[in-house]
């Protein structure tokens, strides 16, 4: 409860930060996008993982203002990067299903795009497979998709309803979960799972990106099997906006 109160003040105290992890297309050999990841630098407890405070933020109803804050910041940052790039990149932002419960969410997103000047096609929203999504939230998601925003399924394959999800949801991209990638060298079943998920993406004509790629062997296996988009420590760790600038300038 105490941490919850601190979280409430964290935004005002500027304790929330965003780090950005570049995503690479191995065939083109270049950065195609970045994922925005939230960080909380607590004044006394130090760094707190979003895995800990996002569920708390959801419980306390703080995910709506926090989600709006990160969306505005990330879009504005990407627009700034676009000014110095020949080929614009996409920014992907994690969405909590709770944010879709907010009936004004779609309007807020429209407003943020207008305000920052970022074109909708350069915004991607990552959403975790969720069986509990109702028609209202699905409608909001469809609305966002119609605006031109890309929708990706995060942690794909780790929850139950993967395939029916793809039928019901306006999805454009699958994010292959890092738990499967981890087993590339050691586990036949993980390799089989990866091939199966890539095949699903192809069948549904969806893009696919692998998460948590840490080694050359993992990257090679993925590329050989048709997953060319890679996110992970092997190429880039999540980094500050300043560091992203340096990396982007080097790759121009």
Stretch that binds ligand G, among 107-115, 136-144, 193-201, 207-215 (CB under 6 A): 207-215
Is 51 a binding residue for ligand G by CB under 6 A? The answer is: yes
Q: Which is nearer to ligand G, 119 or 155 (CB)?
A: 155
Say how far apart CA 98 and CA 102 lie, in whole Å.
7
Is 70 a binding residue for ligand G by CB under 6 A? The answer is: yes
Tell me how far, at minimum, the Cβ of 195 lies from ligand G, in Å: 20
CA distances from 183 to 25, 81, 112 (A): 21, 35, 40
Q: Which is nearer to ligand G, 37 or 198 (CB)?
A: 37
Rule CB under 6 A: which of 82-101 touch ligand G? Answer: 94, 96
Stretch that binds Na ion, among 14-22, 70-78, 110-118, 123-131 (CB under 5 A): 123-131
Q: Which residue is nearest to ligand G (CB)?
A: 232
Q: Which is nearer to ligand G, 49 or 199 (CB)?
A: 49
Residue 133's binding partner out of Na ion, ligand G, none, with CB under 5 to 8 Å set by partner kind:
none
Rule CB under 6 A: which of 171-190 touch ligand G? Answer: 178
Is 211 a binding residue for ligand G by CB under 6 A? The answer is: yes
User: How many residues form the binding site for ligand G (CB under 6 A)?
Assistant: 20
* 240 within 8 A of 248, measured Cβ to Cβ: no
User: How many residues form the binding site for Na ion (CB under 5 A)?
Assistant: 3
Q: Please write down the HEC assignment for all residues of the chain.
A: CHHHHHHHHHCCCCCEEEEEEEEEECCCCEEEEEEEEEEEEECCCEEECHHHHHHHHHHCCCHHHHHHHHHHHHHHHHHHHHCCCCCCCEEEEEECHHHHHCCCHHHHHHHHHHHHCCCHHHEEEEEECCCCCCHHHHHHHHHHHHCCCEEEEEEECCCCCHHHHHHHCCCCEEEECHHHHHCCCCCHHHHHHHHHHHHHHHHCCCEEEECCCCCHHHHHHHHHCCCCEECCCCCCCCECHHHHHHHHHHCC
Is 94 a binding residue for Na ion by CB under 5 A? The answer is: yes
Q: Which is nearer to ligand G, 34 or 113 (CB)?
A: 34
Interface mask toward ligand G for 212-231; x: CB under 6 A: xxx-----------------
Residues binding ligand G (CB under 6 A): 21, 37-38, 49-51, 54, 70, 94, 96, 154-155, 178, 211-214, 232-233, 238
Which positions touch Na ion (CB under 5 A)?
94, 126, 154
């Amino acid at each position: 409860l105490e941490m919850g109160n601190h979280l409430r003040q964290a935004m005002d105290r500027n304790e929330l930060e965003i780090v950005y992890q570049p995503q690479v297309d191995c065939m083109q050999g270049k950065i195609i996008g970045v994922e925005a990841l939230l960080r909380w630098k607590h004044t006394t407890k130090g760094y707190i993982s979003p895995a800990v405070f996002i569920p708390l933020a959801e419980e306390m109803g703080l995910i709506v203002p926090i989600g709006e804050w990160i969306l505005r910041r990330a879009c504005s940052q990407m627009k700034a990067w676009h000014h110095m790039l020949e080929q614009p990149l996409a920014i992907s932002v994690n969405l909590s299903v709770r944010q879709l419960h907010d009936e004004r969410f779609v309007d807020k997103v429209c407003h943020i795009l207008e305000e920052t000047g970022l074109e909708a096609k350069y915004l991607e929203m990552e959403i975790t497979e969720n069986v509990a999504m109702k028609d209202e939230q699905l409608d909001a998601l469809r609305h966002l998709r119609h605006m031109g925003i890309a929708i990706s399924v995060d942690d794909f394959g780790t929850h139950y309803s993967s395939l029916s999800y793809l039928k019901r949801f306006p999805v454009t991209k699958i994010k292959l979960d890092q738990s499967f990638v981890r087993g590339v060298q050691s586990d036949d079943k993980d390799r089989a799972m990866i091939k199966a998920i890539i095949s699903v993406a192809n069948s549904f004509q969806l893009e696919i990106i692998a998460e948590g790629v840490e080694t050359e062997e993992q990257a090679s296996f993925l590329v050989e099997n048709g997953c060319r988009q890679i996110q992970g420590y092997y190429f880039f760790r999540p980094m500050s906006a300043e560091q992203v600038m340096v990396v982007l300038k080097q790759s121009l």
